[in-house]
With several copies, the nearest count.
Chain A
Amino acid sequence: MRIGVITFPGSLDDVDAARAVRLAGGEPVTLWHADDDLRDVDAVVLPGGFSYGDYLRAGAIAARAPLMRSVVDRAHQGLPVLGICNGFQVLCEAGLLPGALTRNSHLHFRNRDQGLRVERADTTWTSSYTSGQQIVVPVKNGEGRYVAADPELDRLEGEGRVVVRYVGGNPNGSSRDIAGVTSADGRVVGLMPHPEHAVEDLTGPSVDGLGFFTSVLAAAVAA
């Protein structure tokens, strides 16, 4: 299965996302922001980093890249898309996911090993987990505070659109401890924590992150 990893100017965790895809058994395909061709991939990962320095607003400029038009179109037709950290910010800015990510409440960049609870184990990207399962993966962000208006948050909760929630401490002040959300069809997922940094014993705090990448492969096999 071919999984595209988009590189924007300023993407940093693109090599890591590609490695995670490979370790999960998929074939990573590099995609360049300025192209408009998705190269026949079966799914897309938007990696972490600081696209365009995040100087304006995290993800704002990258969301308007040429390739993003294709991503948005294909996502509406069901292409699985995962946004990690900056990728999540890009997906919110591009309107594929609700809400926004703003400056952390404590105003610092924060990198730590973070507990998460998987709230939805039936999305394209989380089927390898069980609902309620607790995992540990790194968070690292300066603008990771998930916000939306209260009625919107109520709606998301009501529709079961919260995919992962912080446990054992909220690292950035996100509303209702939300770490990641999904589109209504469960195929587009965005989260601030970095599952691609928890895929090897040698380099991660756990291998709990691998499940995101095996999930999408399983979904492809099932389809």
Chain B
Amino acid sequence: MPVPQVVVDVVLKPEISDPQGQAVLGALGRLGHPGVRSVRQGKHFVLEVDGDPDEAELREIAETLLANPVIEDVELRLAND
């Protein structure tokens, strides 16, 4: 039986500047990929949980530990596979 997986993506809020994304964008431009217009870099977590995932608990983990709500937004999804 597959272990339930939860994927959490954490991205900087749009109003917070993202030097890593900027650096990637700059490099892509120089390397001949001018079609990329913007890049934002965030974090990606894959959690495996025992038994049935408790969505409320996972959301709390994501919003209070994995992300800093002062500067970051969170997206969470169950990805059983």
A202 within 8 A of B: no
Residues A56 and B20 in contact, CB atoms below 8 Å apart? yes
Across-interface contacts of A57 in B (CB, < 8 A): 68
A103 within 8 A of B: yes
Across-interface contacts of A64 in B (CB, < 8 A): 27, 30-31, 65
B23 within 8 A of A: yes
Across-interface contacts of B79 in A (CB, < 8 A): none
B51 to chain A, nearest CB (A): 24
A177 to chain B, nearest CB (A): 15
Residues B68 and A52 in contact, CB atoms below 8 Å apart? no
Across-interface contacts of B30 in A (CB, < 8 A): 64
Residues A147 and B20 in contact, CB atoms below 8 Å apart? no
List B32-46 residues whose CB lies under 8 Å from chain A: 41
Given contacts A55-B19, A103-B20, A104-B19, contact A61 B27 (CB under 8 A): yes
Residues B16 and A147 in contact, CB atoms below 8 Å apart? yes
B3 within 8 A of A: no
B34 to chain A, nearest CB (A): 15
A148 within 8 A of B: yes
Residues A53 and B23 in contact, CB atoms below 8 Å apart? yes
The distance in angstroms between the C-alpha atoms of A99 and B16, with both chains bound, is 11
Residue ranges of B at the interface with A (Cβ–Cβ < 8 Å):
12, 15-17, 19-20, 23-24, 26-27, 30-31, 41, 65-66, 68, 70-71
Show 24 residue pairs from A and B whose CB-CB distance is below 8 angstroms, ordered by the A residue.
Answer: A52-B27, A53-B23, A55-B19, A55-B23, A55-B41, A56-B23, A56-B24, A56-B27, A60-B65, A60-B68, A61-B23, A61-B26, A61-B65, A92-B70, A99-B70, A100-B68, A103-B20, A104-B19, A105-B19, A107-B20, A147-B17, A147-B71, A149-B15, A150-B15
Residue ranges of A at the interface with B (Cβ–Cβ < 8 Å):
52-53, 55-57, 60-61, 64, 92-93, 98-100, 102-107, 145, 147-150, 173
